[in-house]
Structure 1
Amino acid sequence: MNEQTFSLQPFPCNESPPNLKISGNIARNGNKLAIRYMVEGDLKEIAIFPLSNTPSRKHELWKETCFEFFIGIKDSAQYWEFNLSPAGHWNAYYLDGYRQGMQEETAFEKLPFSVQNEADGLTLLLDVDLGKIISVEQAIEVGITTVVKDRGGEVTYWALTHKGAEADFHLRDSFIIQL
């Protein structure tokens, strides 16, 4: 098993980011991927929808508070984007190359994740079988990100690293975790 911890940083901007710490771990065991996000801090200032009784696949989750990760096959332009809402909604997209050919990834009918929302922290856990999209022999590069929307509507962008002049989670240089 290959496991790594991570800590996300807000994109530098004029607004001061919310007083949060976003960290977690990611592990790959064969083609099983497990990722855990932990958000600590003053969550009452963050716009988080309550957990839905009927979570479903939805588009444009990144317009609200959303946990994301990107998986690219090493030495290949293609990659996948995964969006996980703390309300339980989700989506997965396949892209041919940098922001090109984006389409819903139909290999997944659901993404099994859980959310624990406490007063001083939120934990999101996902276990997914990647065998539907990649082979176990393929090395992958992962970018881990989060969009945080506060109650006033301000949005901050968090990532392992920010390589562009603007917040851009799709830049392959930011897929820095090797699994």
Structure 2
Amino acid sequence: MTVLALTPHPDTPPAAIGAVTCSVSWQGPGSWCFDYIVGEPPEALRLPAAVAPGRADGLWRRTCFELFLRRRGEEGYFEFNFSPSGEWAAYRFDRYREGMAEPVVATPRIISTDPAQFAAGMTTYLATLGLDAETAKMMAEMDVGGGGGAPASQYALSACLDDPAFGGAGAWEAAISAVIEESDGTKSYWALDHAHGKPDFHHPDCFALELPADS
């Protein structure tokens, strides 16, 4: 596991957020988990309400955790948005901000410390394992106290990709970032590395982490 500290863009300083980190762990070929932690209690953030997990656009307008992936030496890249609501988005670009399309990708699994989102996310995940919807919902709600309610001193969101398209030979470069909206409306833009100028998570200079395709 690799633990990485994100930094706010100098033009968008936070008001009350002291730290945002992301832990990266390899689960298997094409399978990665990204655990984002904001070092403040959930009430310090303005979080979108939990909804049934699904694909959606415009998630970056609110608190949102992001991941960009490209193969080393290639111009094309993928963008993933992971929302505290449980919604997600995925886009494919041919080159820097050009040729955008919505690729067919495996649905990421998103679990957060918000009890409502945790229950919704676990219900969906258990259903993919073959449990009927009612049993999956019951088991998810039983587990909320253990996974969705703690720790209260910080907000955490885990997003796991499990797609063979992101495995295989070669190495992947990643840009990890977050849009954090605080309870007073302050927005800050966090990343492993920032390019010069205004916040721009798509910029090639932001791909600061190398992820082996298979470990």
TM-score normalised by structure 1 residue count: 0.89
* Distance change in 2, residues 1:31/1:135 (3 Å): closer
CA deviations on 1:106-153 (whole Å, 9 max, x unpaired) are 233x2112111353211111221231x344112000010000112333
* Distance change in 2, residues 1:112/1:49 (3 Å): same
Distance in 1, matches of 2:105 and 2:17, equals 37
The root-mean-square deviation of aligned C-alpha atoms, in Å, is: 1.7
Bigger Rg, which one: 2
* Counterpart in the other structure of 2:67: 69
Gaps of 5+ in 2: 115-150
Q: More strand per residue: 1 or 2?
A: 1
111-120 or 143-152: bigger deviation: 111-120
CA deviations on 1:14-35 (whole Å, 9 max, x unpaired) are 6544323111211234221111
- SS of the equivalent of 1:57 reads coil
CA deviations on 1:19-62 (whole Å, 9 max, x unpaired) are 2311121123422111111111243231112322x121110100
Q: More helix per residue: 1 or 2?
A: 2
Distance in 2, matches of 1:166 and 1:51, equals 30
Q: 2:78 aligned with 1:46, yes or no?
A: no
- SS of the equivalent of 2:174 reads strand
Distance in 1, matches of 2:14 and 2:113, equals 26
- SS of the equivalent of 2:155 reads strand
* Counterpart in the other structure of 2:155: 122
- SS of the equivalent of 2:20 reads strand
* Counterpart in the other structure of 2:4: 6
TM-score normalised by structure 2 residue count: 0.75
